Amino acid sequence: MNDPSTYDVAIVGYGPVGATAANLLGRSGLDVVVIERDPDIYFRARAISTDEEVVRIWQQVGLADRLNADMQPGAGATFVGADGRPFATLLPTDRGNGHPPQQFIYQPAVDTVLREGVGRFPNVTVLLEHECLRVLQRPDGVELMLADLTDDAFRRIRARYVIAADGGSSALRGQLGIGFGGRTFSQRWIVIDTKVLREWPGHDRLRFHCNPARPAVDCPTPLGHHRWEFPARDDEDEKVLLSDDSLWKVLGAHGVTSDDVEIIGAACYSHHVRFAERWRVGRVFLAGDAAHAMPPWIGQGMCAGVRDVANLCWKLDAVITGSLPETVLDTYQAERLPHVKEVTRRAVKVGKLIVEQNPVRATLRDRAFRAAVRLPHFTTWLRRHRWLPDARYPSGLMAHNGIPATGWLIPQPWVTDDHGHRVRLDDVIGGRWTVLHTGPEQPWQQWRAAGVPIVAVAPPGTSPATGRVVDDDAALTRWMQAKKASVVAVRPDGFVYAAGGQDPLPAPPTGFTATPRVRQEA
């Protein structure tokens, strides 16, 4: 073993969560190493959808447009009863993040783009076919013992901090002695991945077939793929269910034959609801499936992990560069865990709706929903309370003063910048602290002294200028008015740290010091 190399951050795991973290930290200019035991991208699709907030995170590192090109915008989710007729349809809600609210993905394609993105940053080292055998924490950093799986050699590296994004069976979580409490559902699920040979009516729609005899999920995936999932009954042998005859029998029940698709893979798995007891031990942080596991019903497993590292990485950057004290890292779990738990709760409820296997209760469910959807605002209520929760942190690194805007993810409208170009808001302010105001400019002396940019948000029809953008559709202006704010201080992850209206804008966080950085090209 040679003398160890030293990095700012080591990322263990190179799936979409680890790759997103590598892009975010690489863009920040930190010295990063990624450790991954597999030689290449995992060939099977696992995650199947994403949402506008996650694509907005990828926008920060300049990959949103490339990723969007390989995605398929969703048209909502249709719940189909035992009689083959829909009883409810949930359409995706645009929450103002500047991207389609729901999109289907083919995960190997997403992984490829994210890894290509990492390749832009010479400050990021990627070690494929390396396994992290041990982490040893010291007062000034972490020592990692690695095995090079290509030649059975060993090496040591050091990092100031470590992100464990190594999946649900995280070895690092086990090494750190962190409990992973929760439950595993007894019901096994068969997943069938296919390549589309010939399109059929409805091939581009997500449908939950809520037939008590054989529930199933019928899910489009882009780039010529499609997926089905169905539960195995207790008396069924999974080896039999995974046979070609059984798989084609299930597909045939949905009107799909070998003329329509080619089966490229099938597997059996169980759903989990689990949360790590701690997401931080010293200088090591859990993210993604290493920190939490949820059922797939609303397509948020990967998305939750991407949100994790979007919350964590800017804080690591701030601590490493000295612009915030190390205690800010304690807000990571405090902010993320409540949102993850609410997403998981909603996923479980949707799953129970789908897999009801009592014929009488299923019939009552179908009739109740068909009656309810005729009521005004019912589908809106259903979408708000059974699909994604709002992007909001009730507590954490925020200065609450009673103004409702605090803690919310700010919308991302199209604006005209000071060069007269129509761009998304984050392309002007993204990835840095910024004060935005719609009212008269105030001193905000502490923010100015800290070097935080002050940007005026002007109404449609006005002219852009230095330090001023035009809110082309007045979307941001309306949002701030609704949240009782005329000025907001926005964190690098887009969440509102503090707001002012009739009350003054609170000061920056304790210990905050501006540290101008030359970010890497994204």
Does 89 reside within a domain? no
Tokens coding 196: 């589309």
d(CA 108, CA 431): 27
Q: Are 65 and 174 part of one and the same domain?
A: yes
Question: Which of 296, 325, 347 is a domain's end point?
Answer: 347
Q: What integer pLDDT is reported at residue 297 of this predicted model?
A: 87
Alpha helices for 102-150 (secondary structure H): 107-118
Has this prediction a pTM greater than 0.75? yes
Q: Are 143 and 19 part of one and the same domain?
A: yes
Q: Are 442 and 330 part of one and the same domain?
A: no
Label residues 412-440 b or e (16+ Cβ within 10 Å = b). Answer: bbbbbbeeeeeebbbbbbbbbbbbbbbee
- We report the CATH number of the domain holding residue 119 as 3.50.50.60
With CA atoms as reference, report the closest residue to 350 among 238, 289, 271: 271
Q: Are 34 and 110 part of one and the same domain?
A: yes
d(CA 506, CA 503): 9
Which residues, 6+ apart, have CB-to-CB distance to 464 below 8 Å?
416, 417, 418, 419, 420, 458, 470
d(CA 378, CA 389): 17
Q: Are 343 and 422 part of one and the same domain?
A: no
- Is the separation of the CB atoms in 267 and 228 below 8 Å? no
First-to-last alpha carbon distance for the chain, in angstroms, is: 34
Q: Are 458 and 312 part of one and the same domain?
A: no
Distance of CA 440 to the CA centre of its chain: 36
- Is the separation of the CB atoms in 512 and 450 below 8 Å? yes
With CA atoms as reference, report the closest residue to 287 among 502, 7, 22, 68: 22
Beta bridge partners, 164, equal: 12, 286
Does 386 reside within a domain? no
Which residues, 6+ apart, have CB-to-CB distance to 352 below 8 Å?
none
d(CA 229, CA 244): 15
DSSP string, 442-505: ---HHHHHTT--EEEEEPTTSPPBTTEEEETTSHHHHHHHHTT-SEEEEPTTSBEEEEESSSPP
**What is the strand order of the sheet 454-458 is part of?**
422-424, 414-416, 468-471, 454-458, 434-437, 487-490, 496-500
Does 205 reside within a domain? no
Does 139 reside within a domain? yes
Question: Which of 347, 362, 382 is a domain's end point?
Answer: 347
State the total domains in the chain.
2
Q: Are 138 and 21 part of one and the same domain?
A: yes
Q: What integer pLDDT is reported at residue 276 of this predicted model?
A: 97
Does 265 reside within a domain? no
Tokens 């035991």 belong to residue? 37
CA atoms within 13 A on the CB side of 221: 26
Q: Are 153 and 13 part of one and the same domain?
A: yes
Which residues, 6+ apart, have CB-to-CB distance to 142 below 8 Å?
10, 135, 136, 158, 159, 160, 161, 162, 282, 283, 284
3-state secondary structure of 335: helix
Distance of CA 46 to the CA centre of its chain: 14
- We report the CATH number of the domain holding residue 464 as 3.40.30.10
Number of Cβ atoms within 10 Å of the Cβ of 374 = 9
Q: Are 162 and 303 part of one and the same domain?
A: yes
Domain residues for the domain of 65 are 5-71+106-181+273-347
3-state secondary structure of 238: helix
Residue 470 backbone dihedrals phi, psi, to 5 degrees: -100, 125
Give the angle 155-309-449 at the CA atoms, nearest 5°: 110
Q: Are 426 and 306 part of one and the same domain?
A: no
Does 397 reside within a domain? no
Does 192 reside within a domain? no
Q: Are 341 and 419 part of one and the same domain?
A: no
H/E stretch holding 138: strand 130-138
3-state secondary structure of 136: strand
Question: Which of 315, 347, 379 is a domain's end point?
Answer: 347
Does 111 reside within a domain? yes
> How many residues in total does the chain contain?
522
Q: What integer pLDDT is reported at residue 387 of this predicted model?
A: 78
Q: Are 42 and 174 part of one and the same domain?
A: yes
| Per-residue pLDDT in tens (0 to 9) along the chain, 522 residues | 555 789 999 999 999 999 999 999 999 999 999 999 999 998 777 889 999 999 999 999 999 999 999 999 988 889 999 888 999 888 888 899 999 999 999 999 999 999 999 999 999 999 999 999 999 999 999 999 999 999 989 999 999 999 999 999 999 999 999 999 998 887 899 999 999 999 998 888 899 999 999 999 999 999 999 999 999 988 889 999 999 999 999 999 999 999 999 999 999 988 999 999 999 999 999 999 999 999 988 889 999 999 999 999 999 999 999 999 999 999 999 999 999 999 999 999 888 989 998 999 999 999 999 999 888 888 888 777 667 889 999 999 999 999 999 999 999 999 999 999 999 999 999 789 999 999 898 989 999 999 999 999 999 999 999 999 999 999 999 999 999 999 999 999 999 999 999 889 999 999 998 765 545 555
Q: What integer pLDDT is reported at residue 403 of this predicted model?
A: 96
